[in-house]
Amino acid sequence: MILFNAWTFDDILVVIEVTDLSSRRKKAELYASEEVKDYWVLNIPERCIEVFREPRNGRCRSAKTYQSVRRGPLFGGARDRAVSL
C-alpha cells in the first residue's frame, strides 16, 4: 500500500504541474528551498512549458521557457527533444 502523505522532498525527482500562473514563482522558490531539482509548469494559456532548475539557497538558478513545437526539457542534462502542447 502506498501512503501518499508519507513522502518527503527527498523522494521527489521532478514536480510537473498545471498551476495558477501567479503562484509559479513562489512554488519554484519553495521547491528550490527543498532542493527539488526540476519544477515544470505546464502553462496551457501560453502553450509552453516553464522549467525551473539548479536550486541553490532557495532560488532556481535556471528558468527556461519552451514554446510549443520547439525543443523541450529532459532529465539529467540529456539533449532536448521536441514537445508540443
Number of domains in the chain: 1
| pTM above threshold 0.75 | no
Q: Please indicate, yes or no, if residue 80 is contained in any of the structural domains.
A: no
- In the predicted model, residues of the chain with pLDDT beneath 50 are 1, 69-70, 75-78, 82
Q: Biggest alpha carbon distance in the chain?
A: 40
**pLDDT at residue 69 in the model:** 47
In a domain, 1, yes or no: no
What is the C-alpha separation between 5 and 35, in angstroms, rounded? Answer: 19
Structural domain of 55: 11-74
pLDDT of the residue at 3: 52
Q: Is residue 58 situated within a structural domain?
A: yes
Task: Say if 5 falls within a structural domain.
Answer: no
Alpha-carbon span 82 to 71, nearest angstrom = 4
pLDDT of residue 1: 45
